[in-house]
Structure 1
Amino acid sequence: MNIKTTPTAVALRDPWAMVPSIGNLDAYITAVNRIPLLTPEEESELGRKLQADGDVQSAGRLVLSHLRLVVSVSRQYMGYGLPQGDLIQEGNVGLMKAVKRFDPGQGVRLVSYALHWIKAEIHEYILKNWRMVKVATTKSQRKLFFNLRSMKQGLKSQAGDTETFRNTLTPDEVDVVAQQLNVKPEEVIEMETRMSGGDVALEPQTDDGEESYAPIAYLADDTHEPTRVLEARKRDHLSSDGITQALAALDDRSRRIVEERWLKVNDDSSGGMTLHELASEYGVSAERIRQIEVAALKKMRKAIETV
Structure 2
Amino acid sequence: MSNQALALSNSNVAMAISNPGALGTIEAYISAVNRLPLLSAEQEKNLAEQLQKEGNLDAARDLIMSHLRLVVSISRQYLGYGLPHADLIQEGNIGLMKAVKRFDVSRGVRLVSFAVHWIKAEIHEYVIRNWRMVKIATTKAQRKLFFNLRSMRPDGQTLNPEHIEGIAAKLNVRPEDVSEMEVRLSGRDMSFESQTNDDDEFAPISYLSDDGDHEPTSVIEKQAYDTLQSSGISQALSLLDERSRRIIEARWLQDEGGGATLHELAAEFGVSAERIRQIEAASLKKMRKALSE
TM-score (norm 2): 0.58
Q: Which residue of 1 aligns with 2:160?
A: 170
Assess if the C-alpha contact under 8 Å between 1:10 and 1:18 holds in 2. Answer: no
CA displacement, residues 160-217 of structure 1 (integer Å, 9 cap, x when unaligned): xxxx443x222211111112222222221221122123456x7xxxxxxxxxxxx633
Q: Which residue of 1 aligns with 2:32?
A: 31
Distance in structure 1 (CA, Å) of the matches to 2:46 and 2:151: 39
Aligned mate of 2:195, from 212, 216, 226: 216
CA displacement, residues 109-166 of structure 1 (integer Å, 9 cap, x when unaligned): 00000001001111111111111222222111211111112212xxx3xxxxxxx443
Assess if the C-alpha contact under 8 Å between 1:23 and 1:85 holds in 2. Answer: no
Q: For 1:146, what is the secondary structure of its paired residue?
A: helix
Distance in structure 2 (CA, Å) of the matches to 1:104 and 1:172: 46
Assess if the C-alpha contact under 8 Å between 2:92 and 2:120 holds in 1. Answer: yes
> Does 2:143 correspond to 1:142?
yes
Unaligned runs of 5+ in 1: 1-6, 157-163, 203-214, 222-307
Residues matched between the structures, number: 191
Distance in structure 1 (CA, Å) of the matches to 2:136 and 2:37: 40
> Does 2:194 correspond to 1:194?
no
Q: Which residue of 1 aligns with 2:214?
A: none
Unaligned runs of 5+ in 2: 1-8, 206-293
CA pair 18-132 structure 1, distance change in 2 beyond 3 A: closer
Amino acid at match of 2:103: F
Quote the offset at 1:51 in angstroms. Answer: 0.7
Amino acid at match of 2:78: Y
Assess if the C-alpha contact under 8 Å between 1:98 and 1:113 holds in 2. Answer: yes
RMSD: 2.8
Q: For 1:186, what is the secondary structure of its paired residue?
A: helix
Amino acid at match of 1:175: E
Amino acid at match of 2:196: A
CA pair 28-133 structure 1, distance change in 2 beyond 3 A: same
Q: How does 1:13-162 map to 2 (within 5 A)?
A: 16=17, 20=21, 24-152=25-153, 156=154
TM-score (norm 1): 0.56
Distance in structure 1 (CA, Å) of the matches to 2:125 and 2:79: 15
CA pair 43-104 structure 1, distance change in 2 beyond 3 A: same
Distance in structure 1 (CA, Å) of the matches to 2:24 and 2:174: 42
Amino acid at match of 1:45: N
Assess if the C-alpha contact under 8 Å between 2:16 and 2:22 holds in 1. Answer: no
Amino acid at match of 1:78: L
Q: Which residue of 2 aligns with 1:210?
A: none
Quote the offset at 1:10 in angstroms. Answer: 4.6
Q: Which residue of 2 aligns with 1:185?
A: 175
Quote the offset at 1:15 in angstroms. Answer: 6.7
Assess if the C-alpha contact under 8 Å between 1:20 and 1:31 holds in 2. Answer: no
Distance in structure 2 (CA, Å) of the matches to 1:97 and 1:59: 11
Percent of aligned positions that are identical: 57
Amino acid at match of 2:102: R
Assess if the C-alpha contact under 8 Å between 1:19 and 1:32 holds in 2. Answer: no
Assess if the C-alpha contact under 8 Å between 2:47 and 2:60 holds in 1. Answer: yes
Distance in structure 2 (CA, Å) of the matches to 1:69 and 1:171: 39
Amino acid at match of 2:61: G
Assess if the C-alpha contact under 8 Å between 1:19 and 1:28 holds in 2. Answer: no
Assess if the C-alpha contact under 8 Å between 1:15 and 1:64 holds in 2. Answer: no
Assess if the C-alpha contact under 8 Å between 2:134 and 2:189 holds in 1. Answer: no
Distance in structure 2 (CA, Å) of the matches to 1:70 and 1:125: 14
CA pair 194-23 structure 1, distance change in 2 beyond 3 A: farther
Greater Rg over alpha carbons, structure: 1
